[in-house]
Amino acid sequence: MSVIGLGLIIIAAALHASWNLVSKLAAEAGTAFVFAHRTIAGVLYLPWVIYAFQQQEVRFTPWVLFILFLTAVLHLVYSISLMKGYQVADLSVVYPVARGTGPLLASIAAVIFFAETLTRNETVGIACVVLGILAIASRGRLKQFLDPQSWPGIRWGIFIGTLIASYSLVDAYAVKALLLAPVIVNWVYSLGAALLLAPTVWWNRAAFYRQMQGKWKHACYVSFASPLAYILVLYALRLGADVSQTAPLREMSMIFATVAGAVLLKESVGLFRWLGCCLLLTGVILISVG
């Protein structure tokens, strides 16, 4: 992976952690907040999208339209499944399983479908990233995964992780093979999410404005940082980074989020979370050096 590609992913990870931190401050707004920042992002990034169309002649062949439609559907199903998973199972089970299986499945699929190759360092690095994620997100409570009551959460986590791997592969194909501008790919699925939530927000307009009171500045930041974080990852892919490298490297955001939570939110960070950060950082180094 090039130095520029790695730099883009590191910046993207920091942005990802920052917008998740801001989202946590506005978490009580729920779906209203998601709709707000997705809609603002659609307007905010529209000039860049128009510029991308001017710089690149995009031929909307049936195949290109299908890929754009597919990425929009996958991201929408991911968002819905994430909310559903958190409703029926514990976040402490769904979240680490989803975040761990996502990059693992994406790396395996990239080897199969994109003919990417993994060195010994990269293979060990991916394993370290997955273990680090489990340690950070579960805070060392690994026995909970053996409890039969956790199985619904594990199933949802694996399903959500599969969706993460799927949209990662489709988006990589869109920017690497079809040469679509990353901002266009991101804008299409962001707009799709806003349209999906629009009917619910329309029928509950009073509740929407009430929930968003005091949250608009948070929505504005997330509308800027969230799309940019993923656009930078897509640009790293377009510059030649492999999916099998990029997917696990994106999880550096968990290190930034852990440190930010400890420093800014005064959250308690136990031994297992710091151990997870060390494992994740080790994995990142191994993947970077190949």
Contacts 24+ apart (CB under 8 A), 192-198: 192/72, 192/73, 192/75, 192/76, 193/34, 193/38, 193/75, 193/76, 193/79, 194/35, 194/38, 194/39, 194/42, 196/76, 196/79, 196/80, 197/31, 197/34, 197/35, 197/38, 198/35
Query: Which pLDDT score, from 0 to 100, does residue 190 have?
Result: 83
Q: What are the structural domain ranges in the chain?
A: 3-289
Q: What is the per-residue pLDDT for 265?
A: 61
| Residue among 19, 30, 86, 5 nearest 210 (CA) | 30
Residue 144's pLDDT is: 61
CB atoms within 10 A of CB 198: 13
Task: Look up tokens 């592969």; give the residue.
Answer: 169
pLDDT value of residue 261:
67
Note the pLDDT of residue 138.
Answer: 67
Per-residue model confidence as pLDDT tens for the chain (290 residues): 678 888 898 899 889 878 877 877 777 777 788 888 889 999 999 999 999 988 888 788 999 999 988 988 888 788 778 767 766 766 556 766 777 788 888 888 888 888 888 788 888 888 888 888 777 766 666 666 666 666 777 788 889 889 988 988 999 999 988 989 999 999 988 887 788 888 988 998 899 999 889 889 999 998 999 899 989 999 998 888 888 888 888 877 777 777 776 776 666 667 777 887 888 788 878 887 76
Distance separating alpha carbons of residues 205 and 155, to the nearest angstrom: 35
Q: What is the pLDDT of residue 114?
A: 81
